[in-house]
Amino acid sequence: MPFTASANDFRVAPATVTEWKAVYGEVETVNIVPARARISGTVVDVRVTEGQEVRKGAVVASIEDEKLALQLRAAGARVAALNSQMTNAQTELTRAQDLLRTGATAQARVDAAKVQLDVLTSQLTAAVADKAVIEQSAREGDVLSPADGRVLTVPVTAGSVIMAGEPVARVASGRYYLRLSLPERHAAEISEGATVVIGGRSNAEQPRQGRIAKVYPEIQNGRVIADVEVSDIGNYFINERTLVSIPVGRRTILAVPPQAIRTVHGIDYVTLKSLQGTLEVAVVTGERVEIDGKEMIEVLTGLSAQDEVVTR
């Protein structure tokens, strides 16, 4: 303690305390990523709503393109036709090979049958690949969440026509943090790593501590921007404002324990020890402060250093 104390008195001495400034910080998230449509079409189902928690890969909405169904049927018919042609080509090749063994046909006919079978095999492979592309496009009608997080906005509804690349929902992913905007006169007083106090959203909620994680080097419109990390920020809304107390300097004060102050008719008094005994002195008190882990009351006027105050 900055003073010596006994059971009933102590000697006042200057103490240095941290100067705090109350500002408002806005809750932000590390990333806001859009869940985009991968194909063009009509939104047939929206499975999320604003504020809902989603996991990465969860289906956000479903998009349907009627042309894909037609293309898929056409691709299936082409594959079936090529399969039939390949069956005939295989039969023709087998017949030509049998005739060649008996000498009833020439080698040229067998070679032509082989070439025809190879051409149809390549065409079938290409047709199957084209069908797979169409099937994949149909599966991409499901819009997936790009990350774990909370849905901020859903700008579409069922029945909306949407183009590929347009956002279906915006997801706030990553941890939340507070962004502060301070007057530039505090630029030299704040530093990374400093501890701040975040006020509760209600009187019943206890304040919590955070840490200044980053101070941006550019001053914008006379304001210094800083980010505050909080281990458990709770379920705040994005862009919600909350009160934050930050250290902006240190000052020297005189303070006494709360039990040393007696209030009579709205005036605060302190009892001093003197050579003649005790003396009642009127004082003007300030805010409550913590010095070396003990609660004290700042005295603005009425006391001097080395005064011996009686506690009761």
**Rg for the chain, CA atoms, rounded:** 40
Report the 10 Å Cβ neighbour count for 256. 21
Kindly indicate the confidence band of residue 17, based on its pLDDT and cuts at 50, 70 and 90.
confident
Nearest to 244 by CA among 25, 11, 1, 10: 25
DSSP string, 20-46: EEEEEEEEEEEEEEEEE-SS-EEEEEE
SS3 86: helix
The answer to whether the beta carbons of residues 172 and 29 sit under 8 Å apart is yes
| pLDDT at 200 (0 to 100) | 72
The H or E element that residue 77 is part of is: helix 66-102
What pLDDT, on the 0 to 100 scale, is given for residue 5? 42
pLDDT digits (tens, 9 = 90+) for 166-196: 999 999 887 788 888 888 887 887 888 888 8
Q: Give the closest residue to 144 by CA, choosing from 58, 18, 73.
A: 58
pLDDT above 70 for 164: yes
Other Cβ atoms less than 10 A from the Cβ of 255: the count is 27
Give the pLDDT band (50/70/90) at residue 3.
Answer: very low
